[in-house]
Structure 1
Amino acid sequence: MEKATDPLTLSMTEREALIRSTIKDRGEQIRKDHPLLANNDLCGMSIFLFAISGVLVSGWAYWQSLIPAWICIPLVAMFTSLLHELEHDLIHWMYFKKNKAIHNLMMLGVWVFRPGTINPWVRRQLHFLHHKTSGTEQDLEERGIGNGHPYGVLRFWIMSDTLVGNLFRILFTFPPERKAHALKGLFLKNFPLAIATGILWYGFLLFHAVNFLLPALGATVVWSESTLNIMSGVSFLIVTLIAPFYLRSFCLNFISSNMHYYGNVNSVIEQTQVLNSPLFWPMQLFCFNFGSTHGIHHFVVGETFYIRQLTAPAAHKVMREHGVRFNDFGTFRRNNRFQPETPSRLSPAVSA
Structure 2
Amino acid sequence: MKNPAFFRGTHRRSRYFEGWYFKCISADRKHALAFIPGMAVDPDGERHAFVQVIDAARGKTWYFRYPYAAFQAEKDRFSVAIADNAFSAEGLSVNLRDDVTIQGQLVFSNSKPYPVSRLNPSIMGPFYFIPFMECYHAIIHLTHDIRGMIELDGQVLDFTGGTGYIEKDYGRSFPRTYIWIQASHFDSSDASFVFSRARIPFMGSEFPGFFAYFSNFAGLSYRFATYNRAKLADWQVDQASGSCSGKLAGRSATLLFSAQMSGGGVLRAPIEGQMDREIVESIGAEVTVTLYDKQDNLLFAGTSSQAGMEISL
TM range (shorter): under 0.3
For the pair shown, the structure with the greater C-alpha radius of gyration is: 1
| Structure number with higher strand proportion | 2
| TM-score between the two structures when normalised by the length of structure 1 | 0.26
Q: Structure 1 or 2: larger helix share?
A: 1
- TM-score normalised according to structure 2 size: 0.28
Between 1 and 2, higher relative CO (CA 8 Å, sep ≥ 6) is seen in 1
